[in-house]
Amino acid sequence: MSMTLYHGEPNGPSLTVLAALFEKGLDAQLVKIDLAGGARHDLAVAHQAEVGMSIEGEGPVLVVNGEGMTDSVFIACYLDDQGTGPVLRPSEPYARWEMMTWCRQIIERCAPAAAFLGTKAHLATALAALPTETFLAVTAKMQSVDLAQRWSDIRTGTFPDDQQADSETKIAQAVDKVEAQLDGRNWLMGDFSIADLETYAWLAAMVDLVPSAFAGKPQTSAWLARVAVRPSVAKALSMAASGDPRNCWAPGPEINRWG
């Protein structure tokens, strides 16, 4: 079976999926696309609901049997079942519940915060410089009205103070959880897993953007360094085309609008 992975720079969800692919020793055609330029919406599979309405925002798309698959944690689960490398999920049901719940919290609380802070620091200026017609031609292709709105908020520099504060809090809470979880362990779930990939992928760039969250967190700092040199992650990071991939951001998931 042939797979094609359309991915962006190795940061956020693209990093999770690239590294998962390498962990499993799988062969896929890798196609780098400009996620921050809206290129995902030009893919042949862009009209499929699972692509156009993915709440991850501008993440990678794995095409298998003509179907576009999105949402990095679930793509990684899929890859885990395909390849030959070490398992990326515990097999015991309760340990698996722990991993899925962990990832859910990262997806729901940490990722939107990281995307808010990352796009504010690293995408807003570039989007603001685009001619209006160019920008509108990009958002016009989007199936998701609320994703298009996030693009537009980034372009206009609409980053409300309360969301800024909330995002910094969510990053600090995520780091607190990582620090507590690592207590004497190398990896978050004991063995290396998708939880390490997804958590690293969203948090790595926050070290520069919310430094206070990482102050006095020795276990987290050591873990970040450990993940970065893991061969699969190092290989993914080495694919960066434009300097430090931690400075590459595309619009991500939305901040919870309800509880």
Residue 3 backbone phi and psi in degrees, to 5: -125, 145
Closest by CA to 236, choosing from 5, 3, 2, is 5
**# chain residues binding other proteins, by CB under 8 A:** 32
Asked if residues 252 and 56 have their Cβ atoms less than 8 Å apart, the reply is yes
What is the C-alpha to C-alpha distance for residues 173 and 179, in angstroms, rounded to an integer?
10
Compute the least distance from the CB of residue 3 to other proteins, in Å: 11
Pick left, alpha or beta for residue 85 (phi over 0 → left; psi -120 to 50 → alpha; otherwise beta).
beta
Query: Binding marks (x or -) toward other proteins, 99..118, rule CB under 8 A?
Result: -xx--x--xx----------
Based on CB atoms, which residue is closest to other proteins, 63 or 123?
A: 63
Compute the least distance from the CB of residue 18 to other proteins, in Å: 17
Q: Is 145 in the site for other proteins (CB under 8 A)?
A: yes
Q: Is 19 in the site for other proteins (CB under 8 A)?
A: no
Residue 187 backbone phi and psi in degrees, to 5: -125, 155
Cα separations in angstroms, 38 against 52, 54, 141, 231: 12, 14, 9, 30
Q: Is 46 in the site for other proteins (CB under 8 A)?
A: no
SS3 223: helix
Residue 49 backbone phi and psi in degrees, to 5: -55, -40
Rg (CA), the chain: 17
Compute the least distance from the CB of residue 244 to other proteins, in Å: 30
Query: Binding marks (x or -) toward other proteins, 51..80, rule CB under 8 A?
Result: --xxx--------xx-x-xxx--xx-xx--
Contacts of 226 (CB under 8 A, 6+ apart): 186
Among 30, 32, 96, 221, indicate the residue that binds other proteins (CB under 8 A): 96
Compute the least distance from the CB of residue 46 to other proteins, in Å: 15
Compute the least distance from the CB of residue 172 to other proteins, in Å: 14
Q: Is 257 in the site for other proteins (CB under 8 A)?
A: yes
Q: Is 141 in the site for other proteins (CB under 8 A)?
A: no
Based on CB atoms, which residue is closest to other proteins, 45 or 248?
A: 45
Among 26, 32, 34, 82, indicate the residue that binds other proteins (CB under 8 A): 82
Q: Side chain identity at 160, as an amino acid letter?
A: P
Compute the least distance from the CB of residue 227 to other proteins, in Å: 23
Closest by CA to 177, choosing from 232, 108, 121, is 108
Closest by CA to 3, choosing from 58, 77, 63, 57, is 63
Q: Is 176 in the site for other proteins (CB under 8 A)?
A: no
- Residues in contact with other proteins by CB under 8 A are 49-50, 53-55, 64-65, 67, 69-71, 74-75, 77-78, 81-82, 93-94, 96-97, 100-101, 104, 107-108, 145-146, 256-259
